[in-house]
Amino acid sequence: MISAYYFGAISLILIGLYAILTKRNLLKILVGLSIMETGVNLLLISVGYVSGRTAPILTEGATPQTAVDPIPQALVLTAIVIGVATTALALTVAINLYEKYKTLDIEKIRGLRG
Amino acid sequence: MNPQYASLLIALPLFSAFLVPLIKRAGKKVILPYLTLVTLIQTGIAAWAFKEVYTTGKPIIVLAGGFQPPVGINLYIGHFAALFVLIIAVVSFFMTVFSMKAIDVEPIDKYAMLFLLLMLGATGMIATGDIFNLFVFMEITAISAYALTGYNKTGEASEAAMKYIILGGIGSSFFLVGVALLYGSLGTLNLAQIAMLASKMNPTVAQAALALLVFGLAVEAELFPLNAWAPDAYQASPHPVTVMFSAFVVKAGLYAMVRIVYLFKDTPAFMGILNLILILGTLTVVIGELSALRQTNVKRMLAYSSIAQIGLIAVGFGVATPQAVDAAVFHMVNHAIVKALMFLAVGYVAITLGCPCIESFKGLGKKMPLTAFAITVGAISIVGIPLFNIFWSKFRLLLAALQVGKTGIVALILGASLVEAVYYFRLIHAMWFEESKDEKVEENLAFSIIMLLLVALIIVIGVYPEPVWNLVQKAATDLYNVANYIKNVPLLGVSP
């Protein structure tokens, strides 16, 4: 069962990487980046998953024996926040690029070379 | 003083960055002086930590919240971290002075905030003792670096920032997958505990995890397949930011990579990863030097030269004998000094004469004699002429490569020096022997003092390398001696 999560996570990472490497539209590349980050987060979560246990929140009846490993969840929470910041910044830069070059095609945005 | 005050190295830039919007209410004029003040205090704290570590010979371990590692996150300010935190603080201080003249694009308050966060991120990457904390600091560095690259808001700046964001995003995803593999097999994120348990890990998994971590950090460390952003970002970002990238952001990435890889020193996975670093480093040197040859924009040429030097440092770490690590750390220190000088001088020329292209440098010896002199000293030093500092680190690197019989690396270092000689002497020739009809320019006093200080440092280290060499050897031992690293961190539930 757990290998299904790993499989899903790694496929997401590869789909994202494929989009980044092959697409020419900047927004599609950024979508690929987000998909890749989601895949990584899913991988981290599945590392700490123990089949049949509950969320690691201190409530009535939840003990360390019945909860999953909390550390990967804390990590993923941080990683999601960082991912949101990166995506927001990237979209801002994309808007700026569109205003300057009037296109989002990365083949046509080539002011710097050499 | 209580060593726990060393946590101010992280806390001060963080709080100061968030105070910037309040300071802005007092007027835009006070923001840059405020930035200078903060970096000056940071330099003071870093100097104190440096003195403390080097006089007692013991690293400062800061326990966040008083929790013992591995439950809490610890900062590890050993010999290496103390030296580089000091370099970061001093370079940042010089750059705040440079920013007063070099930055004329609004919003200056955002610039100050990002500047402090960049400094904080690099300091944190070098000082932390926890791999996920390292990731967070890496992202702080990276995100502020993305924003600073695009700060000028021209098309080129946005383009460079976009390249950096995409490569940085791929790199951080790789890094996280590596962390997931390490955590999944060892159940810990503390660097010292990872080192302690490293031999228990399946060698294949360890190798995969390390390769992913190396590729993740190669974006920050500007190693070959992932450094396509670097020349663009160096060229398009504001001049003080370029200095910071070259002087310490890339060093922080390289340090993090080497620290993590060396944790696995006694495992079978180590040799394979060293070969990977050697290959990446060699490719970086070759491609960096060859690309530098055909540049007409001096800032971009220096960017490629900087990348090639980083490749040499990586090669030193890839050889991994104690002598090679000493030489590599020495080269890191020298490169930080020389490239800070070069990018400062070139940036100054660019803001005075309008463009960092080779035409501005024709007859610079008559227009701005002091700046031209500084660039000449820096260039000669990079080429590796005796009596200048980089000669000694290249020489030590050669000796270390000869000791293990790797003649290929000797040829690489000599060939790189030859190519450097070609393009740097072209620049020197343009500065002193070509005519230009422009008038002589009055040079700014503060910049002249900073440039002369750095020139003096280059020559003093070149003539008397011994004191710095001794410091550097201690710093390199801190990196190399992993058993000592484990012993110094007070791990919970492990008897010392």
Test the A interface: residue of B73, B135, B159, B235 with most A CBs within 10 Å: B159
| Distance, C-alpha B416 to centroid of its chain | 20
Pick the closest to residue B312 from B289, B285, B278, B339 (CA basis). Answer: B285
Q: Hey, what amino acid is at B359?
A: E
| Residues contacting residue B209 through CB under 8 Å, at least 6 positions apart | B178, B181, B182, B185
Looking at the DSSP assignment, which residues form a beta bridge with residue B75? B62, B128
Distance CA B161, CA B236 (A): 9
Please compute the mean of the pLDDT values over residues B96-109 and round it to a whole number. Answer: 81
Q: Any idea how long chain B is?
A: 496
**pLDDT confidence of residue A2:** 65
Distance CA B126, CA B448 (A): 30
Number of domains in chain A: 1
pLDDT at B106 over 70: yes
Find chain A residues with C-beta within 8 A of B298's C-beta: none
How do residues B149-206 score in pLDDT, each as one tens digit? 988 888 888 888 998 999 999 999 999 999 988 888 888 888 888 888 888 888 888 8
How do residues A74-98 score in pLDDT, each as one tens digit? 889 999 999 999 999 999 999 988 8
CA angle B165, A90, A80 (to 5 degrees): 85
Q: What single-letter DSSP state applies at residue B130?
A: B
pLDDT at B25 over 70: yes
Between residues A63 and B61, the one the model is more confident about: B61
Domain boundaries, given as residue ranges, for chain B: 268-481
Test the A interface: residue of B141, B163, B165, B212 with most A CBs within 10 Å: B165
Cβ B77 vs Cβ B59: under 8 Å: yes
Cβ B86 vs Cβ B50: under 8 Å: yes
Q: What single-letter DSSP state applies at residue B63?
A: E
Distance from CA of A3 to the nearest CA of B (A): 13
A97 domain-assigned: yes
Average pLDDT over all residues of chain B = 86
Pick the closest to residue B130 from B58, B84, B45, B67 (CA basis). Answer: B67
CA angle B229, B289, A21 (to 5 degrees): 30
Distance CA B15, CA B422 (A): 47
A86 domain-assigned: yes
How do residues A30-80 score in pLDDT, each as one tens digit? 999 999 999 999 998 888 777 777 777 777 766 777 777 788 888 899 999
Check CB contact under 8 Å for B132 and A78: yes
**pLDDT confidence of residue B157:** 87
* Terminal Cα-to-Cα distance of chain A (whole angstroms): 50
Q: Which residues of B340-374 are buried (b: 16+ CB within 10 A; e: fewer)?
A: bbbbbbbbbbbbbbeebebebbbbbbbbbebbbbb
Cβ B249 vs Cβ B289: under 8 Å: no
| Residues contacting residue A54 through CB under 8 Å, at least 6 positions apart | A62, A66, A67, A68
Q: What is the DSSP string of B249-272?
A: IHHHHHHHHHHHHHTTTTSTHHHH
**pLDDT confidence of residue A113:** 64
Distance CA B440, CA B414 (A): 38
Give the residue ranges of DSSP H helices in A23-69.
26-47
Domain that holds residue A46: 2-50+66-101
Q: What is the DSSP string of B313-371?
A: HHHHHHH-SHHHHHHHHHHHHHHHHHHHHHHHHHHHHHHHHS--BGGGGTTHHHHSHHH
Find chain B residues with C-beta within 8 A of A89's C-beta: 143, 146-147, 165
Q: Which residue of A has its CA nearest to B150?
A: A93
Give the residue ranges of DSSP H helices in B128-268.
131-149, 155-186, 191-197, 203-221, 229-236, 239-244, 250-262
Q: For residue B72, which phi and psi values (nearest 5 degrees)?
A: -95, 170
Percent of chain B with pLDDT over 70: 99
Tell me the CATH number at A42.
1.10.287.3510
pLDDT at B494 over 60: no
Closest Cβ opposite residue B235 in set A13, A97, A112: A112
A109 domain-assigned: no
Q: Which residue of A has its CA nearest to B185?
A: A47
Q: Hey, what amino acid is at A54?
A: T
Closest Cβ opposite residue B232 in set A41, A90, A112: A112
Closest Cβ opposite residue B153 in set A75, A94, A96: A96
What ipTM was assigned to the predicted interfaces of this complex?
Answer: 0.92
For residue B408, give Cα distances in angstroms to A35, B405, B411, B412.
42, 9, 5, 6
Check CB contact under 8 Å for B183 and A13: no
Distance CA B74, CA B65 (A): 9
Closest Cβ opposite residue A97 in set B159, B183, B300: B159
| Distance, C-alpha B335 to centroid of its chain | 9
Interaxial angle between packed helices B298-319 and B229-236, expressed in degrees from 0 to 180 and rounded to the nearest 10:
140
Task: Enumerate chain A positions whose Cβ falls within 8 A of a Cβ in B.
Answer: 13, 16-17, 20, 26, 29-30, 33, 36-37, 39-41, 43-44, 47-48, 71-72, 75, 78-79, 82, 85-86, 89-90, 93-94, 96-97, 100-101, 109-112, 114
Distance CA B365, CA B430 (A): 9
A114 domain-assigned: no
3-state secondary structure of B276: helix
Closest Cβ opposite residue A111 in set B156, B161, B294: B156
Closest Cβ opposite residue B143 in set A85, A101, A110: A85
Between residues A112 and B287, the one the model is more confident about: B287
Looking at the DSSP assignment, which residues form a beta bridge with residue B128? B75
A44 domain-assigned: yes
Find chain A residues with C-beta within 8 A of B158's C-beta: 93, 96-97, 100
How do residues B304-358 score in pLDDT, each as one tens digit? 999 999 999 999 898 888 888 999 999 999 999 999 999 998 888 888 887 888 8
